[in-house]
């Protein structure tokens, strides 16, 4: 059985990134479990999503058959990002925590794919996510420990992503964390502990 996997990376650190290393471990387990899977990687740190403009919003809320040439051009990125999302069976998102939240490039991507009529609707006045039957893995990396303890209240990454992805219909979300990478007593074991959690997980 094969899976179509969308791998989204957002770290500025490249191969030294803990979130990417953790995402790679997830991908290795997935492709071992589903050997014929296809992985498409979108590195937002190198090719960031365009940030929303007034032209984008106008295009989003204008019927396709009424788009101007300028609107047709500006909406291409959103259309392609949404197509990749809808075609994927599994989404892996690497999330380094920057200033208690997600990277700006990831927020930029979310703003491009969260589109009324395409990834959610308000049928009967109630929101309905249209991106369904997906499995999402988040690999969150942080210098401090946010899963528990005094800094838990400062974690605006996982709660936000669960909320916005859930709003779009992606409610089956598993979170892996590599944390404490900047704390001397925890740093050495931070990545091995995170990788062990992936190894022990039943994909």
pLDDT tens for residues 77-116?
999 999 999 999 999 999 999 999 999 999 999 999 999 9
Q: Which of 90, 98, 111 is nearest to 144 (CA)?
A: 98
pLDDT tens for residues 149-170?
999 999 999 999 999 999 999 9
pTM of the model: 0.95
Using DSSP's 3-state secondary structure scheme, residue 202 falls into coil
Separation of CA 164 from chain center: 10
Residue 91: what pLDDT? 98
Query: What mean pLDDT do residues 38-46 have?
Result: 97
Region of poorest pLDDT, from 34-43, 102-111, 122-131, 132-141: 122-131
What does the alpha-carbon distance between residue 116 and residue 6 come to, in Å, rounded to a whole number? 22
Residue 1: what pLDDT? 81
Q: What is the percent of the chain with per-residue pLDDT over 90, rounded to a whole number?
A: 94
Q: Which of 156, 108, 155, 142 is nearest to 17 (CA)?
A: 142
Residue 46: what pLDDT? 94
pLDDT band at 123 (very low <50, low <70, confident <90, very high): confident
Residue 124: what pLDDT? 80
Separation of CA 32 from chain center: 22
Q: What is the percent of the chain with per-residue pLDDT over 70, rounded to a whole number?
A: 100
């Amino acid at each position: 059985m094969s899976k179509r996997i969308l791998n989204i990376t957002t770290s500025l650190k490249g191969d030294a990134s803990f979130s990417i290393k953790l995402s790679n471990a997830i991908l290795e387990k997935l492709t071992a479990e589903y050997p014929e899977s296809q992985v498409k990687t979108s590195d937002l740190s190198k090719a960031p999503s365009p940030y929303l403009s007034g032209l984008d919003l106008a295009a989003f809320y204008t019927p396709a058959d009424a788009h101007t040439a300028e609107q047709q051009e500006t909406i291409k990125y959103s259309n392609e990002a949404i197509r990749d999302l809808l075609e994927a069976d599994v989404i892996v998102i690497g999330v380094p925590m920057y200033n208690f939240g997600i990277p700006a490039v990831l927020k930029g991507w979310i703003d491009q794919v969260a589109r009324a009529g395409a990834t959610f609707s308000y049928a009967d006045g109630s929101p309905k996510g249209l991106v369904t039957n997906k499995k999402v893995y988040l690999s969150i990396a942080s210098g401090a420990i946010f899963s528990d303890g005094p800094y838990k209240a400062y974690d605006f990454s996982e709660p936000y992503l669960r909320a916005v992805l859930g709003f779009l219909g992606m409610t089956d979300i598993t979170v892996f964390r590599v944390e404490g990478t900047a704390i001397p007593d925890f740093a050495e074991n931070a990545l091995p502990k995170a990788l062990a959690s992936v190894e022990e997980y039943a994909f």
